[in-house]
Amino acid sequence: MNVSIINIGDELLIGQVVNSNASTMSKMLIAAGMDVREVATIPDDGKAIRETLERCLASTQAVLITGGLGPTKDDITKKTLCDYFHSELYENEEALANVKRIFDSRGYELTPINRQQAWVPRCCTMINNYVGTAPCMWFEKDDKVVVSMPGVPFEMDWLMENEIVARLRQHFHCDYILNKNLLVQGIGESFLSDLIESWELALPASIRLAYLPQAGMVKLRLTARGADEEQLKRQIADAVSKLYPIAGQYIVGEDLETLPELVAYTLKKASKTLATAESCTGGTIASKLTALAGASEYFKGGIVAYSNEVKEIALGVKHETLEAHGAVSEETVREMVMGVRERLHSDYAVATTGIAGPGGGTPEKPVGTVWIGIASKDQVIAKVMKYGDRRAQTIERTCNEVFSSLVKMVKCGG
Amino acid sequence: MNVSIINIGDELLIGQVVNSNASTMSKMLIAAGMDVREVATIPDDGKAIRETLERCLASTQAVLITGGLGPTKDDITKKTLCDYFHSELYENEEALANVKRIFDSRGYELTPINRQQAWVPRCCTMINNYVGTAPCMWFEKDDKVVVSMPGVPFEMDWLMENEIVARLRQHFHCDYILNKNLLVQGIGESFLSDLIESWELALPASIRLAYLPQAGMVKLRLTARGADEEQLKRQIADAVSKLYPIAGQYIVGEDLETLPELVAYTLKKASKTLATAESCTGGTIASKLTALAGASEYFKGGIVAYSNEVKEIALGVKHETLEAHGAVSEETVREMVMGVRERLHSDYAVATTGIAGPGGGTPEKPVGTVWIGIASKDQVIAKVMKYGDRRAQTIERTCNEVFSSLVKMVKCGG
């Protein structure tokens, strides 16, 4: 079954907003076994909407539309769809009750303009948007489906997760789809592919394998598709259990998506705590870890030691060390990582100090030079990385290097 | 002059990668006075590429294509374009020299497959991609232009900024475009619009005004378009100078894009320093500030006091305060913000403590309850915010509230 996505909104075309809906929706559809053929981003313009819808309807079975459902004049999606399907608008009771409930909960009075949010074309099935005032509309034309959703990311998200994906699966009698992720670390994609080749060739026809390389690791995704859900579960479990004897030493986690999730999983499993001392990453390591719910189970806190003064005051880095070796040095990163572990009473600690740029480089320590440190009770590892002169990338790569080095140390019980 | 964008890549359709190129490119094109009519995201598929290119060529004057230029089998953009333009591939000397230079600098040996990167269709103008191995290709057909660029964001970025935008402007004899941003804070969009209405009506026809609301502020963008660059400069300067007597008290910065930029600008201008104490934002405030080059001029550092223990150890929050009032309380946030200002010897300090969720809420302090504190030498402000139950949004909104409250205090000399 195949789908196209139309994201409507002037703001997406002037670059004011990054179109994250397209990737969120694609990910959900793919995970449910559907193929996304095209994403079209178009302005709030009736002609563009009609033409794009026509084209997408001709090439795919379902067309998912976001955006243009607000109460202002710019938002013309609802009217355009109503005309396209030769229908007329009416006030939908359930949608009105929803709009009222939301206005009540915010303590706002319902204006006539907001009340219009509850109007939908007669020919569509109204799907209640519990987290917002713009209702979702489901149209059917011949054997095709058109769904119109709000463009606000979390409203689209809620509708897709709670309503649309399941309804599409049911309408088009889709197969069951089960996904299983395995995070692999410490082996390159091509070596991994050689190592598990015979296992891969022996997979049942219902299971597809995908290599999804990410910074510092590879995600293996097994996707099973078929009519019998229980059988698919057994097949996945069987395939995974056969993989462990071959590549088990590289599998660092199951059903995880990112390096910070892997850090969280690894530390929680080991019942260990972490503290951070960040100079060049400026809080980004802590921020990425605390973005995940439940971080307080293992993360005690950190010091963003941006200035040398703070390195001394808050981490106990010796003034002489900074004088003799500079802030970006093995000696400093070692004192930082040991200092934070001791002061914040954690089992493990990580530290970063480097020149993210664009300024601050010297011939001996060019922009992109970063020292990272990882410490446990028993050992301290320090290493220097040479990244390029792009600040954001240097910060990102430093975080990834810290996360993978930390996971390695924890897994080795170091 | 109008443009369409085609982003090619399977990875964009399976949701593995967010298509940030579309918004980056749109922003650059709009700033240069061009209109973006459509963004199409399509798979690495010859038929889809040909059909989409055909359609976009029919509706717009220039088509900018990214992606599908890698050396692997999946990447078919170059071959498809070569066939589309009835041309043939040849090894371009300048492109080869560039590929060699990049491989040399990384210490890699040039393989035959990588050497193929230097092949381009005879009918195109090769534009050297200084930061990557895939050359950029410029095609002309009748009065239309097609440009093919790599999909790697920083390579696309470099090419757009250094080559493509200028070449498009020249080719299509575009007008000069000057943009001027004014950041406005402390007044809502509709009140601002009323306040400056007569000024707006008196703007010369060459100047267009846009309201770009962002979290906690409004960005006013003046865009001047015309053939005489000097005249445009004078007109912009004149319009800005007339705006100050009307709305000057709300204008917090010129030519700034975001709240962190505004914080940096305001603190540097006042020659003041900042320290942060973050609990629920977990380092995100520090991370956003240090993402900008030059943060060391005003940012001393911060404490990510995620656990109560760290609030006591690293910030000096009293055990009795935490016992009596809890971590999420006015008393705690005041001790945090004063503690970090004192310990890190900064002029200003900010602090956050809250329940980002999804766990940890109580009837008195539901998920989304956040205390923020702002301190100078002379005053401490604490306020409580009630956000919803979405973790990422609560963190984001807390950061924005902290940034705007801090700017207000610094601007008032508090």
Task: Provide the H-helix boundaries in A248-390.
Answer: 259-270, 284-290, 308-315, 319-325, 330-343
Question: Of B57, B59, B134, which Cα lies nearest the Cα of B102?
Answer: B134
CA distance B135 to B82: 14
- B234 to chain A, closest Cα gap in Å: 26
Q: Which residue's entry shows tokens 């078919």?
A: B76
End-to-end CA separation in angstroms for chain B: 49
Question: What is the DSSP code string of B320-381?
Answer: HHHHHH-SSSHHHHHHHHHHHHHHTT-SEEEEEEE--SSS---SSS-TTEEEEEEE-SS-EE
Q: How many helices (H) and strands (E) does chain B have?
A: 17, 17
Handedness of CA A193, A195, A196, A202 (dihedral sign): positive
Q: Is the pLDDT of residue B341 over 90?
A: yes
Compute CA distances B403 → A79, A92, B212, B219, B276, whole Å: 40, 42, 18, 15, 11
Please tell me the least confidently modeled range out of A149-163, B24-38, B177-191, B350-364: B177-191
How high does pLDDT run on average in chain A?
A: 92
Mutate to test the interface with B, among A41, A64, A347 (most CBs of B within 10 A): A41
CATH of domain A2-171: 3.40.980.10
Asked if B221 and B212 count as a contact pair (C-beta separation under 8 A), the reply is yes
Asked if B102 and B132 count as a contact pair (C-beta separation under 8 A), the reply is yes
CA distance B282 to A276: 11
Asked if B400 and B260 count as a contact pair (C-beta separation under 8 A), the reply is no
CA distance B140 to B62: 9
Q: Where are the domains of chain B?
A: 2-171, 176-254, 259-411
> Residue type at A151?
G
> Residue type at A396?
E
Q: Is the pLDDT of residue A405 over 80?
A: yes
Predicted TM-score (pTM) of this structure: 0.81
Burial class for A389, CB neighbours closer than 10 Å (0-12, 13-18, 19+)? middle
B130 CB-side CA count, 13 A: 7
| B183-203 burial: b if 16+ Cβ within 10 Å, else e | bbbbbeeeebeeebeeeeeeb
CATH 3.90.950.20 fits B259-411, yes or no: yes
Interface touch A40/B37, C-beta < 8 Å: no
Kind plus residue range of the DSSP H or E element containing A277: strand A274-278
> Residue type at A59?
S
- What integer is the mean pLDDT of B34-53? 94
Interface touch B15/A37, C-beta < 8 Å: no
Q: Is A160 on the interface with B (CB under 8 A)?
A: no
The CA R_g of chain B, rounded to the nearest whole Å, is 26
CA angle A240, A241, A246 (to 5 degrees): 90
pLDDT band at B276, cuts 50/70/90?
A: very high
pLDDT over 70 for what percent of chain B? 99
**Per-residue pLDDT, B238:** 97
pLDDT band at A216, cuts 50/70/90?
A: low
> Residue type at B357?
G
SS3 A303: strand
CATH of domain A176-254: 3.30.70.2860
- pLDDT tens column, B158-198: 999 999 999 999 999 988 888 899 988 878 777 888 899 99
SS3 B45: coil
Burial class for B171, CB neighbours closer than 10 Å (0-12, 13-18, 19+)? middle
Q: Is B213 on the interface with A (CB under 8 A)?
A: no
Pick A412 or A341 by higher pLDDT. A341
**Per-residue pLDDT, A332:** 98
Structure tokens at B71: 């050396």
B65 CB-side CA count, 13 A: 30
- What integer is the mean pLDDT of A129-153? 95
**Per-residue pLDDT, B150:** 94
- B22 to chain A, closest Cα gap in Å: 7
ipTM surpasses 0.85: no
Return the residue of A nearest to B36 by Cα: A13
Q: Is the pLDDT of residue B215 over 70?
A: no
**Per-residue pLDDT, A221:** 87
Asked if B288 and B260 count as a contact pair (C-beta separation under 8 A), the reply is yes
Q: Which residue's entry shows tokens 């034309």?
A: A141
**Per-residue pLDDT, A83:** 96
Structure tokens at A130: 């519990």
CA distance B25 to A386: 29
pLDDT band at A215, cuts 50/70/90?
A: low
Q: How big is the A-B interface in CB pairs under 8 Å?
A: 245
**Option in B23, B281, B294 nearest A15 (CB):** B23
How high does pLDDT run on average in chain B?
A: 92
Asked if B305 and A301 count as a contact pair (C-beta separation under 8 A), the reply is yes
| B392-410 burial: b if 16+ Cβ within 10 Å, else e | eebbbbbbbbbbbbbbbbb
**Per-residue pLDDT, A265:** 93
Count other C-beta atoms under 10 Å from residue B163's C-beta.
18
Task: Provide the H-helix boundaries in A14-123.
Answer: 20-31, 46-59, 77-84, 93-106, 112-115
Chain-centre distance for alpha carbon A120: 33
Interface touch A40/B40, C-beta < 8 Å: yes
pLDDT over 90 for what percent of chain A? 72
CA distance B1 to B249: 38
SS3 B180: strand
- Calculate the CA dihedral of residues B27, B29, B33, B37 and round it to 10 degrees: -90
Q: Is A16 on the interface with B (CB under 8 A)?
A: yes
- What integer is the mean pLDDT of B70-85? 88
Q: Is B146 on the interface with A (CB under 8 A)?
A: no
CA distance B131 to A371: 25
Chain-centre distance for alpha carbon B258: 8
CA distance B176 to A278: 44
Question: Which residues does chain A have within 8 Å of residue B289's beta carbon, measured at their own beta carbons?
Answer: 282
Structure tokens at B180: 């001027």
**Per-residue pLDDT, B239:** 97
Asked if A305 and A327 count as a contact pair (C-beta separation under 8 A), the reply is no
